[in-house]
Structure 1
Amino acid sequence: MSFLVTIAPAQLSFTVKPDETILDAALRNGIDFPNRCRQGVCTSCVCKLKSGEVRYSEPQPLTELDKQQQFTYCCLAYPCTDLVLHHPFIQS
């Protein structure tokens, strides 16, 4: 089962395969998605979760503040549902 991810405000949509991170799926779909370290350290791929649910492999990369602010580390996140994410620097 794949999930649909939409990036606002660009309104770009793509599907994520099972066991594929959001970042890997975006790059596979030709989206110019900011990324560097792919380890959840540099924060260039961080989006704000507007709707939906994601999961992470252990150890959980999010701090309590990250969770409160609805941050999603796309290099480490796997969708559990369709998602709407916000990233101000991704353009269509």
Structure 2
Amino acid sequence: MRFEQHDIEFQCAANETVLHAALRSGVAITASCRNGTCRTCMCHLQSGQVNYQVEWPGLSFDEKADGYILPCVATPLSELIIDKLVLSSA
């Protein structure tokens, strides 16, 4: 997995959320609810595919079609390149 904007790479297991893998790797993505509703962690998927742990995450149909994902409930189906990501300052 790669966060293009910040030049950061790390591994994410197929059964692990993108948020959990980032935190495990020392990358602090801005997040709040961790269940797909608050949208705090929303970012743009430049390439790759994800699966969601919830039936319909807090994204509109258009946002999903435009490539936006919620890392707190997204697991990778392929290698991911993410841009437009906000990292926590804490």
Identify the TM-score tier after normalising by the shorter chain. 0.7 to 0.9
Pairing of 1:11-22 with structure 2 (within 5 A): 11-22=7-18
Cα distance, 1:89 vs structure 2: 2.7
Q: CA RMSD in A?
A: 1.6
- 1:27 matched to 2:23: yes
Relative to the length of structure 2, the TM-score reads 0.86
Question: Which residue does 1:66 correspond to in 2?
Answer: 63
Between the aligned partners of 1:89 and 1:57, the Cα distance in structure 2 is 22
Please point out which of 48, 53, 57 is paired with 1:52: 48
CA distance in 2, matches of 1:88, 1:79: 16
TM-score w.r.t. structure 1 length? 0.84
Three-state SS of the structure 1 residue aligned to 2:28 is coil
Over the matched positions of the two proteins, sequence identity in percent amounts to 31
Structure 2 segments unaligned to the other structure (5+ residues) = none
- Structure 1 residue runs of 4+, over 2 Å off? 87-91
What secondary structure, in the 3-state scheme, does the structure 2 residue paired with 1:48 have?
Answer: strand
Partner of 1:86: 83
For structure 1, the 5+ residue unaligned runs are: none
Relative distance call for 1:20 and 1:88 in structure 2 (3 A) is: closer
Cα separation, 1, equivalents of 2:39 and 2:31 = 8
Distance 1:59 1:68 in 2: 16
